Structure 1
Amino acid sequence: MTKKITMQDIANQLNISKNSVSQALTGKAGVSEKTRHLVETTARELGYEYLPLRKNYHYSSDGKTIKIALIASDYAFSLKGFFGEIYLSMEKEITSQNNSLMIQSISKEAIESLELPSFILNGAVDGVLILSHLRTEYIQKIISTGIPAVLVDHHHPHINADAVLTNNRFGAFIAVEHLVKLGHKEIGFVGNISISPSYYERLEGFQLALNQYGLNKDDSVILTDIEEDEVSVKVAMKRVSKQPTAWFCVNDGLGFLVSSYLLQSGYKIPEHISVANFDNGQLSKLATPKITTMDIDLELFGKRAVEQLLWRINNKETANQEILLPATLLVRESTGPAPK
């Protein structure tokens, strides 16, 4: 019977400690890149069965702790339900790998004056995670320092950096397709596409679904400049001369406000009008009825962003990448068959 190769066998072969072998094979800090490569090569040669795929790039070439900065606008940090969960996932991923995290909220004044945090200007961090959107010129200034950066839930044609994003177009397509399959042919859109590229992409996904299923686009119910507050939604909805049989809203806040307006106006959801939205935040769960939505895996969002930044630190010359994460349809009580 062939003896199974163990970590101790690899350690004996290389005349190093078993702990060093474990650190190398599990991707932990504490060993040099040269030792890590030697351990992996020897493990393969000896036939070690539990050699993992090298997915985690959480070490530096000299085995030292990597210093990561997380920055976002004051507004983004205030949205604890969405960005808060992404931030917590990032923190968990970074600290679990014995790397360090520095967090900085960027004021509106600093963004306007292009004032970077001192730890970026001084090169005191190895990489930067930029959560949500900041002014394009501000992000460009960060990138000009040469510190590797990854954008999280934001991108722009003029920003040359990696980005981890939701697949907004396909997510919106799936949500609208769900409404179409319920028999809805008159579907409206509510959002403010100037706020975020994500919202514009969700409009594109909405239109893609209409085209796919041969439905007419009615501009009178495609509301693309609606502020996320009760008064704005009420004014906009009152201007709609004929309600569609379903609304797709770009986020939970607008989904909640649209649903509230419809109920206050005497409509039943979903008997008269169905409502679907995006993000699966608290408001879609608290609404009555609960709102059908596209769920984003926020923990995966944070984890994948950290992985990409650590990979980028070790691969600075490789072409920039955009990573699209899927959204999942959660069907709830707010969507039903189109009224006959």
Structure 2
Amino acid sequence: MSNKKVSMQTIADYLNISKVTVYKALNNQQYVSDDLKEKILRAAQELGYYKVSGKNLALNNNLAFVVPKRFFLENEGFYTSIFYYLNNFCHNDGLALTLYVINNSDESNCTLPATLNSGSCDGIFIAGEMTDDYIHGIGDLGLPVLLIDFYKPSFNYDCIIADNFFNGFTITNYLIEKGHTDIGFVGNPSQTSSISDRFYGYQKALAAHNLPYNPDWHLVNNNLTTGVYTLETPLPKTLPTAFVCHCDRAAYFLIQRINMEGLKVPADISVACFDNTNLAENSNPPLTTVDISTKTIAKNSYSQLRSRIKDNSLSKQRIYIPCNIVERSSVANIKKII
């Protein structure tokens, strides 16, 4: 052989197969027959390609960050912040992190980015809940996958999430302790598992205090397909004294909508939410919110995916990050008034 560097692509071209197949064979992954795997390993030896000793170390030093466009809008801070921190972790270790923002059409048609199909990355972060079919398509690549901010019981993947049921219970209980007994919810539980868990945690807190759930106080102020929020959401004739919103942006738009009715937060209605993005601090009034640290999510996600790449035989894990309530000025203590 010449002194030209031998890569996985060299082996793929030599055997007229895909680079993904070569990657799977060299890393002893499934979906490659024993005969083909033996052929690939023999070709790798003949061509002078040698793996570093150890498990799953025939690497490209590149990771992928896949996120639906509806969660990665220009003015959205949660997933962009996670990507920012992940990119820093990768850079510090000499790795590249490639961003793939998936539009609604490609997600519906299960169209994966061509470069993601090329076998050029070692592992994939999926940030924000996607359709089962699209996740299946990514899984079929045979690469380590980690889910960020959601889980799917039907998929056996690592995931890094907040305990959203507990957080939903905690923030609702916080409002109850402030004297609120009429509490609404903003968000569609069918949109993501995170919203669903927050909603059921909210309902659990109401039930724990023998408070009724009023469906008239359950609002949705965003488009489930595009992710865009609106000020056109109708408000009920009789309003609760407080709302739990599924995220900071939902709370921000709700406050603008309340203001349009000549009402004020928190003087007339209190608002609490989740995420603690920059929007929560810069809102008027600043938002009381559950702090879900994007840096902590990124740190745990990076560490877990790197471990998974090194040894894909480890048991899959669902890792919960710690959260706490950040009190600002969007919630009134009406116990003082009664």
Whole-Å Cα distance in 2 between the matches of residues 327 and 262 of structure 1? Answer: 28
Stretches of structure 2 that go unaligned for 5 or more consecutive residues are 1-53
Q: 1:92 aligns with which of 88, 91, 114?
A: 88
Whole-Å Cα distance in 2 between the matches of residues 270 and 129 of structure 1? Answer: 38
2:262 aligned partner = 266
Comparing 249-258 and 199-208, the one that deviates more: 249-258
2:73 aligned partner = 78
Whole-Å Cα distance in 2 between the matches of residues 328 and 153 of structure 1? Answer: 16
Deviation string for 1:214-247 (max 9, x for gaps)?
Answer: 22222222335764633442x1x1xx23211111
The alignment's TM-score, normalised by the length of structure 2, stands at 0.75
Q: Secondary structure at the match of 1:199?
A: helix
The alignment's TM-score, normalised by the length of structure 1, stands at 0.75
1:164 aligned partner = 160
Q: Does 1:187 align with 2:177?
A: no
2:125 aligned partner = 129
2:229 aligned partner = 229
Whole-Å Cα distance in 2 between the matches of residues 69 and 231 of structure 1? Answer: 35
What RMSD over aligned residues (CA atoms) do the two structures have, in Å? 2.3
Q: Secondary structure at the match of 1:86?
A: helix
Retained in 2: the 8 A contact 1:89–1:300?
Answer: no
**Structure 1 residue runs of 4+, over 4 Å off?**
59-65, 224-228
How far the C-alpha of 1:148 sits from its partner, in A, is 0.6
Q: 1:319 aligns with which of 299, 315, 324?
A: 315
Q: Secondary structure at the match of 1:214?
A: coil
Whole-Å Cα distance in 2 between the matches of residues 221 and 310 of structure 1? Answer: 44
1:207 aligned partner = 203
Deviation string for 1:25-84 (max 9, x for gaps)?
Answer: xxxxxxxxxxxxxxxxxxxxxxxxxxxxxxxxxx97659663212222233332541111
Whole-Å Cα distance in 2 between the matches of residues 113 and 296 of structure 1? Answer: 32
Identity %: 27
Comparing 202-211 and 92-101, the one that deviates more: 92-101
Whole-Å Cα distance in 1 between the matches of residues 103 and 55 of structure 2? Answer: 31
How far the C-alpha of 1:159 sits from its partner, in A, is 2.4
Whole-Å Cα distance in 2 between the matches of residues 169 and 327 of structure 1? Answer: 12
Q: Secondary structure at the match of 2:146?
A: strand
Retained in 2: the 8 A contact 1:90–1:303?
Answer: yes
Residue type matched to 2:103 in 1?
S
Residue type matched to 2:282 in 1?
L
Whole-Å Cα distance in 2 between the matches of residues 74 and 191 of structure 1? Answer: 18
Residue type matched to 1:260 in 2?
Q
* Matched length: 278
Q: 1:231 to 1:88 in 2, by over 3 A?
A: closer
Q: 1:93 to 1:335 in 2, by over 3 A?
A: same
1:248 aligned partner = 244
Retained in 2: the 8 A contact 1:246–1:274?
Answer: yes
Comparing 179-188 and 123-132, the one that deviates more: 123-132
Whole-Å Cα distance in 2 between the matches of residues 105 and 258 of structure 1? Answer: 27
Whole-Å Cα distance in 1 between the matches of residues 72 and 239 of structure 2? Answer: 36
Residue type matched to 2:69 in 1?
D
Whole-Å Cα distance in 2 between the matches of residues 99 and 61 of structure 1? Answer: 16
Stretches of structure 1 that go unaligned for 5 or more consecutive residues are 1-58
